Amino acid sequence: MAPKRITSPVPDTWYPSLAVTMLAIGLVVTASFFIYEATSSRRNRSLAKELVTGALASFFLGFGSLFLLLASGVYV
């Protein structure tokens, strides 16, 4: 019985566009996080909003970096 070849669930041709899109979304969410932190007072800040915004930025920047590495030929 021959082993099955491991394939990506995402086509290779989508890597560059996914990288650009996810990194752009991650940078916009990160910028909104910094703007929120700089413009809101300490009394008006919401921990839940900060955690959700940070998690979203982390998700998009993490997967955007992964697809950027895959698009450039570094298979991780």
Instruction: Please write the tens of the pLDDT for every residue from 11-66.
Output: 999 999 999 999 999 999 999 999 999 999 989 999 999 999 999 999 999 999 99
Has residue 3 been placed in a domain?
no
Has residue 65 been placed in a domain?
yes
Half-sphere exposure of 54 (CA within 13 A, CB side): 7
- Enter the pTM of the model: 0.86
**What is the distance of C-alpha 21 from the center of its chain?**
9
Has residue 6 been placed in a domain?
no
Q: Are 13 and 48 in contact (CB under 8 A)?
A: no
Domains identified in the chain, total number: 1
Has residue 29 been placed in a domain?
yes
Supply the range of the domain harboring residue 50.
13-72
The two three-digit tokens of residue 17, written as one number:
């566009």
Half-sphere exposure of 2 (CA within 13 A, CB side): 3
Has residue 18 been placed in a domain?
yes
User: Under DSSP, is residue 32 helix (H, G, I), strand (E, B) or coil?
Assistant: helix
Has residue 41 been placed in a domain?
yes
pLDDT score for 8: 86
